[in-house]
Structure 1
């Protein structure tokens, strides 16, 4: 029995789902959505707040301020409520309504920024608003998930050792790339211990995190409209890019088997399954970090009208939605056309 007094004290660390019955490839998803914040962002939020408290940056009258597309905002709202801080989340129109309502229910203030960059991103507008808030009130403390080393240290200290204990013979680890906190924390951990794990970063098409052309991104979570300050590509073996249509198909295919995951998880799963399919071997121990659950995506990824309006009706054709269709390949273009893979260390 577990008894806690603050919500951030609970997080399920050792739950894995094997999606082989769904996709035909053995891939173990480390489920990070089973905590009171509903995502892996609880770890980064708790570590950043604790670090700021230790060094004296956060004081009892401080106002926490952060830019977030959603999940980190929920985690910080929860922690701020438990510790008595005021919290302001600066987000944009891509943030799901359920996420905004959750932050407000927890006492957080949501500032919605509508200014969009020429490359299709909202990040610059969000960051400008954060800086304005900090300049207008010296009580404001911006934790800056994009550049705060406590972001990646959270996963160096928790996520990576949890995986290492469960899978001492791990061959390949797939992680989504947003701020790259999870990616960098886990990659550094395994590199420091000389564990020969292949690190594969999964990014969303339209993100410029690893270079490439910017594009429209409608599903919050993964991807960046700038190079992540925390990113050190020397720790990354490969990068896989996934189209949002394939994110949606992966989410819906999992849902047909009873697993309701979020958009970030769908992206990671799609990229990982495609990578494994191209290896031509089934004897790899492969783990993917599943950052979120799907309840906050019910009005987007799982809403037919939303999907059809933005991506076309063909995106709704999901294997497993009809009897006898379980063994069909994922609908869409050939894998090589929809997912680009780039080698890193071997270049």
Structure 2
């Protein structure tokens, strides 16, 4: 019987969902949302704060400042409350209402940026706001997840080893690319311990992370408007870009089977299915995709028909499986 004294002490690290029914090929989804922060970001947040404490940069009574589209902000909010730090999260208008309310419930001061930077978009505007806050508020520390090595080190120490422990014969792993902390840590570990594993990064269309042109994005999580400084593309074998309508349809397909995942997870699964289809004979391949989040914070967006139609237009969910790479699903109740 687990008994914990701090919320960060609990995390489920060995739960996988068999997705052969959606991919048509063997594919296992590593579920990272079963902790008190509700996402994989708790791992990185804990490591970054611990590093700041060990170095003396962060002291009792100090405040934390970070830019986040939602999940990292929630994770830091939880840890700040647990450890007694003040926290100000700088987010933008794409952050879901659920994530904002959760951060505020945990005592976080939330600043919402609505005007994008002319070159670096909303992320660039958020980072500039963070720098102003730190300059104006003595005793406040910016963890800077886009540069902090603790972001990827957390996954080098945990996520990578967890995947390989569960699947020693691993052939390919699909990892979403946001700040690229999960991607870099997992990829570094696997490259050093099992170099034959193929690392496939999954990004959003409109993200500049891998040098593609910027474009509008409405789903928070994966993708960036400013290339993350911790990214090292030498650890990445392939990149798959997923359009947001495909993310929506994949999330809805998973929900039809009772699996309510978040936007980042829908993107990763869509990218994994697309990659496996393009690479033909993969039946004997051991493939794992990492699911960063659950879907409860997306009830007012991805799972809200009105929001979907307002952003993407009527009929976006009616496209055939051929458009998305997601196989057609039987209706509920059909064996």
Q: TM-score, normalised by structure 1?
A: 0.91
1:132 corresponds to 2:148 = no
Query: Taking structure 1 as reference, are residues 73 and 334 closer, same or farther at Cα in structure 2, changes over 3 Å only?
Result: closer
1:119 CA displacement = 5.3
> Which sits farther off after the overlay, 106-115 or 149-158?
106-115
CA RMSD of aligned residues (A): 1.4
Q: Please give the alpha-carbon distance, in whole angstroms, between the structure 2 residues aligned to 1:207 and 1:22.
A: 26
Which sections of structure 1, spanning at least 5 residues, go unmatched? 319-328, 336-347
Q: Please give the alpha-carbon distance, in whole angstroms, between the structure 2 residues aligned to 1:259 and 1:97.
A: 21
1:330 corresponds to 2:291 = no
1:280 CA displacement = 1.3
Is the Cα–Cα contact under 8 Å of residues 317 and 331 in structure 1 kept in the other structure?
no
In the TM superposition, what are the counterparts of 1:6-17 in structure 2 within 5 Å?
6-17=6-17
Q: Please give the alpha-carbon distance, in whole angstroms, between the structure 2 residues aligned to 1:42 and 1:85.
A: 16
Query: Taking structure 1 as reference, are residues 152 and 267 closer, same or farther at Cα in structure 2, changes over 3 Å only?
Result: same
1:121 CA displacement = 2.5
Runs of 4+ aligned structure 1 residues displaced above 4 Å come to none
Is the Cα–Cα contact under 8 Å of residues 246 and 324 in structure 2 kept in the other structure?
no
Alignment-derived partner of residue 268 in structure 1: 268
Alignment-derived partner of residue 341 in structure 1: none
Q: Please give the alpha-carbon distance, in whole angstroms, between the structure 2 residues aligned to 1:299 and 1:9.
A: 30
Number of residue pairs aligned between Structure 1 and Structure 2: 325
Q: Please give the alpha-carbon distance, in whole angstroms, between the structure 2 residues aligned to 1:334 and 1:295.
A: 25
Query: Taking structure 1 as reference, are residues 253 and 119 closer, same or farther at Cα in structure 2, changes over 3 Å only?
Result: farther
SS of 1:122's equivalent in the other structure is helix
Alignment-derived partner of residue 246 in structure 2: 246
Alignment-derived partner of residue 343 in structure 1: none
Q: Please give the alpha-carbon distance, in whole angstroms, between the structure 1 residues aligned to 2:217 and 2:275.
A: 22
1:114 CA displacement = 1.4
Query: Taking structure 1 as reference, are residues 334 and 258 closer, same or farther at Cα in structure 2, changes over 3 Å only?
Result: closer
Q: Please give the alpha-carbon distance, in whole angstroms, between the structure 2 residues aligned to 1:31 and 1:334.
A: 21
In the TM superposition, what are the counterparts of 1:1-347 in structure 2 within 5 Å?
1-118=1-118, 121-281=121-281, 282-317=283-318, 330=321, 332=323
SS of 2:89's equivalent in the other structure is strand
